[in-house]
Chains A and B, each alone.
Chain A
Amino acid sequence: MNQQTQHYYLPAPSYWPIIASTALLTLASGFVLFLNHFAPGPYVMVAGALILAYLVFGWFGVVIKESVGGLFSRQVDHSFRWGMGWFIYSEVMFFVAFFVALFYARNVAVPWLGDTKLLWPHFVAHWPTVGPGITEASFTPMKAWGIPAINTLILLSSGATVTWAHWGLIKNNRTQLKIGLIFTILLGVTFLGLQAHEYAEAGFSIKSGIYGTTFFMLTGFHGLHVTLGAIMLTVILFRVMAGHFSAENHFGFEAVAWYWHFVDVVWLLLFVFVYWL
């Protein structure tokens, strides 16, 4: 984005949105078929995922080309800032719903199940619990101060490395920028690897009552967002190596950095409320 144009860029008519809608419809239909054990399900899902991948590369590719081509004025840059901010806010609200489920279960549902004399009179309310009606031979809840604590340090460090990379970009130190990004990605991938290990070694599953439910859904969606963030960071790294981004104009980098910080903050909340307390 080198030129400063005066007019607000209005994109030409485009096929990408209809391709995106087709991708989502295919993916959704495949998912429905898969959930209901129809044989074509997984194949339709894969088809949808492929169209979606094509779409993501295509549409973002077009936007990157427009940006590098200098078509975006300062005002367009501001639009992107507003847009990314509000998008992250919508993701925050999505996590809020799941945290609400956790707090409601721990502070309302489970205590009331312990208080009522109906259905399960011998249930004593406690947390973690698989609930009064599910019997599990062994149930070992997650401990906070092992790998999860290490993961907290990893993600916090990755927030620092991406900030350090940003400072490199602002100072025009491309080496600092690249190394910072690489470290951030490596830390993110390490986080994911450790989480996968924890998932495999967990003493309970998603079917282990409300504890397993909230644990895996909250950390699972978080892990999904870390994965997306790591992919986005990698794309930014490739763009850096292709010479994109200047010290004055690099909102693509900032947007992904914001997203990464958001993912970090969600982890902190997870660590405190899911693992620790």
Chain B
Amino acid sequence: MSTTTATHHDEHHSHPTGLMRWVTTTNHKDIGTLYLWFSFVMFLFAGSMAMLIRLELFQPGLQFVQPNVFNQLTTLHGLIMIFGAIMPAFVGFANWQVPLMIGAPDMAFPRLNNWSFWLLPAAGTLLIASIFVPGGASAGGWTMYPPLSIQGGISQDMTILALHILGISSIVGSINIITTIFNMRAPGMTLMKMPIFVWTWLITAYLLIAAMPVLAGALTMMITDRHFGTSFFNAAGGGDPVMYQHIFWFFGHPEVYIMILPAFGILSTVIPTFSRKPLFGYHAMVWATASIALLSFVVWAHHMFTVGMPAAAQVFFMYTTMLIAIPTGVKVFNWVATMWKGSLTFETPMLFSVAVVCLFTIGGFSGLVLAIVPVDIQLQDTYYVVAHFHYVLFSGSAMAIMSGVYYWLPKWTGHMYDEKLGQWHFWLTTIAFNVTFFPMHFTGLAGMPRRIPDYALQFAEFNMISSIGAFVLGASQLLFLYIVIKCIRGGASAGDKPWESADTLEWTLPSPPPYHTFETPPVVK
């Protein structure tokens, strides 16, 4: 990735090499690389769990795993994908790109930045070790609702502590990002001149600082209910299991926007580059992102329409949920408007970004369907919901990550990736993704519940199709791994600016950039 030779001035120190370089680094590029690799490994690990899930669901009946193991797989697949793959990947992008894009020498707190990363393997150790303890891993779903989570074994405690540690990592990292963006921009770079990717991360960091402590609160309440005799979620003591759902989803809904806003930032970077046109409606895009973030705090109970809330509350949340589609729609229209009459080419990053615009929109539409309370009463906890969130999380977040990886690999490594293989990866992924998840809309409408290892016979055909798609989708990500490793090891020289229309500050630097960059900030006009 980046070289260790650099221009020095008097504050510089010799860098350790080998393993200790990665353990002790305070360099945002190194830390970004660590996050990206960690997330890729976690993505493949959680993806393997998905393969096992789809293997069991390939046919009716129980062929491969016990129901309890199946539940552990679904729980861990969710937890690891969210906290181990998607979130760290976006933080990896933030680490690499935000200081470069604002012309800063590094993050505001470089040593704290290292801690944010190295907390992840600590949390991962606890979470993965929970698989091997008596009782197996946590099996009540990634949402960990009481009373089931109160009754869980030792793995539930390990999961709670792992999430606490992940929360500290996110909060500390977000403080770092906000401070960096507010305090370290190059002279002349006003907030409204920042690249839109930086805006999306500023807003995401705010969501993280506001929401993660609330999750910490819910988890603490869970652990005291489990071991210290508190009655937060125990009706006999005057508490309420539904209260957990309120507190959890007050975190949980901003969490999903935390997972999509950086994706929007990547789209807003890639699409203008390959349209050879500036982003349409920069101000509107900033406004829309901020509106989505603000609204994300008042929609949480749309995850709870079937718990027995008063109708007035359900209607409130239905309206706010539908409202949040408006700023999201503004963004989709603006990406399309950016492409309109642009000089378009479809290299792999652009292929992924365009696919995200189309497929994420489908996910948004199924979200609107689910927002309608009487419809959600039927579809809650069915595969329709699984279809919805995979459309927004895989063909939204994950594919945006892939777009960003292809876009910035030349900058990070100095080599062009293999374009032909990239296109193969794109088409295999996109087609297989749709084969896997589109039928789930129908499966859910037909009534198949979520989180079940065996199902009624009428769902058999759709499940078989989904499973076949899933196997191809999983295998395609191994191709992605191959492409990334091949690019790191060599390839056509990328030069400073392989993408002719890219206009953010990182493209003014060599590829790969020196270890230390912008020690003197550039002046931005």
Q: Do the beta carbons of A91 and B108 come within 8 Å of each other?
A: no
Q: Is B48 an interface residue (CB 8 A)?
A: no
Q: In the assembled complex, how far is the CB of residue A30 from the closest CB belonging to chain B, in whole angstroms? A: 10
Q: Which residues of B contact A104 (CB under 8 A)?
A: 240, 243, 246
Size of chain B's interface in residues, with CB distance under 8 A?
A: 79
Q: Is B247 an interface residue (CB 8 A)?
A: yes
Complexed CA–CA distance, A32 and B125 (Å): 13
Q: Do the beta carbons of A94 and B209 come within 8 Å of each other?
A: no
Q: Do the beta carbons of B247 and A97 come within 8 Å of each other?
A: yes
Q: Which residues of B contact A98 (CB under 8 A)?
A: 217, 221
Q: Is B279 an interface residue (CB 8 A)?
A: no
Complexed CA–CA distance, A130 and B15 (Å): 60
Interface string of B161-193 (1 = CB under 8 A from A): 110110010010011101100111000000000
Which positions 1-49 of chain B face chain A at CB distance < 8 Å?
9, 11, 13, 15-16, 20-21, 23-27
Selected from B11, B24, B126, B179, the residue in CB contact (under 8 A) with A13 is B24
Which positions 47-92 of chain A face chain B at CB distance < 8 Å?
59, 71, 75, 78-79, 82-83, 86-87, 89-91
The residue among A10, A71, A82, A112 with the most chain B CB atoms within 10 A of its own CB is A10
Q: Is the interface of A mostly helix, strand, loop or mixed?
A: helix
Q: In the assembled complex, how far is the CB of residue A134 from the closest CB belonging to chain B, in whole angstroms? A: 5
Q: In the assembled complex, how far is the CB of residue A95 from the closest CB belonging to chain B, in whole angstroms? A: 8
Interface string of B103-130 (1 = CB under 8 A from A): 0111011111011011101100110000
The residue among A17, A132, A212 with the most chain B CB atoms within 10 A of its own CB is A17
Q: Do the beta carbons of A29 and B126 come within 8 Å of each other?
A: yes
Q: Do the beta carbons of B240 and A13 come within 8 Å of each other?
A: no
With A101-B247, A131-B236 known as contacts, the answer to whether A14 contacts B111 (CB < 8 A) is: yes
Q: Which residues of B contact A141 (CB under 8 A)?
A: none
Q: Do the beta carbons of A14 and B119 come within 8 Å of each other?
A: no
Q: Is A108 an interface residue (CB 8 A)?
A: yes
Q: Is A39 an interface residue (CB 8 A)?
A: no
With A11-B26, A17-B114 known as contacts, the answer to whether A109 contacts B240 (CB < 8 A) is: yes
With A86-B175, A213-B232 known as contacts, the answer to whether A109 contacts B108 (CB < 8 A) is: no
Complexed CA–CA distance, A16 and B118 (Å): 11
Complexed CA–CA distance, A179 and B216 (Å): 37
Q: Do the beta carbons of B236 and A10 come within 8 Å of each other?
A: no
Residue on B with the closest CB to A28?
B161
Q: Is A240 an interface residue (CB 8 A)?
A: no
The residue among A7, A21, A29, A100 with the most chain B CB atoms within 10 A of its own CB is A21
Q: Do the beta carbons of A10 and B212 come within 8 Å of each other?
A: no
Q: Do the beta carbons of A96 and B214 come within 8 Å of each other?
A: yes
Q: Which residues of B contact A14 (CB under 8 A)?
A: 24, 26, 111, 114
Complexed CA–CA distance, A97 and B243 (Å): 11
Q: In the assembled complex, how far is the CB of residue A160 from the closest CB belonging to chain B, in whole angstroms? A: 29
Complexed CA–CA distance, A79 and B109 (Å): 8
Q: In the assembled complex, how far is the CB of residue B220 from the closest CB belonging to chain A, in whole angstroms? A: 8
Q: Do the beta carbons of A94 and B158 come within 8 Å of each other?
A: no
Q: Do the beta carbons of B237 and A79 come within 8 Å of each other?
A: no
Q: Is the interface of B mostly helix, strand, loop or mixed?
A: helix
Q: Do the beta carbons of A133 and B235 come within 8 Å of each other?
A: yes
Q: Do the beta carbons of B171 and A90 come within 8 Å of each other?
A: yes
Residue on A with the closest CB to B214?
A97
Q: Is A25 an interface residue (CB 8 A)?
A: yes
Q: Which residues of B contact A129 (CB under 8 A)?
A: 238
Q: Which residues of A contact B25 (CB under 8 A)?
A: 13
Q: Which of B223-231, B453-461, B472-480 contacts A (4 or more CB under 8 A)?
A: B223-231
Q: Do the beta carbons of B237 and A131 come within 8 Å of each other?
A: yes
Q: Is B218 an interface residue (CB 8 A)?
A: yes
Q: Is B154 an interface residue (CB 8 A)?
A: yes
Q: Do the beta carbons of B236 and A134 come within 8 Å of each other?
A: yes
Q: Is B506 an interface residue (CB 8 A)?
A: no
With A10-B11, A11-B111, A210-B231 known as contacts, the answer to whether A131 contacts B106 (CB < 8 A) is: no
Q: Which residues of B contact A9 (CB under 8 A)?
A: 11
With A93-B209, A209-B231 known as contacts, the answer to whether A83 contacts B175 (CB < 8 A) is: yes
Q: Is A8 an interface residue (CB 8 A)?
A: yes
Binding site for B on A (CB under 8 A): 7-18, 20-22, 24-25, 28-29, 31-32, 35-36, 59, 71, 75, 78-79, 82-83, 86-87, 89-91, 93-94, 96-98, 100-101, 104-105, 108-110, 112-113, 119, 129-134, 205-207, 209-213, 216-217
Provide a sorted-by-A list of 24 A–B residue pairs whose CB atoms are within 8 angstroms.
A7-B519, A15-B24, A17-B118, A18-B23, A18-B24, A18-B118, A29-B161, A35-B226, A59-B111, A79-B184, A86-B175, A96-B213, A96-B217, A97-B214, A97-B218, A97-B247, A100-B247, A131-B235, A131-B236, A131-B238, A207-B230, A210-B237, A213-B224, A213-B231
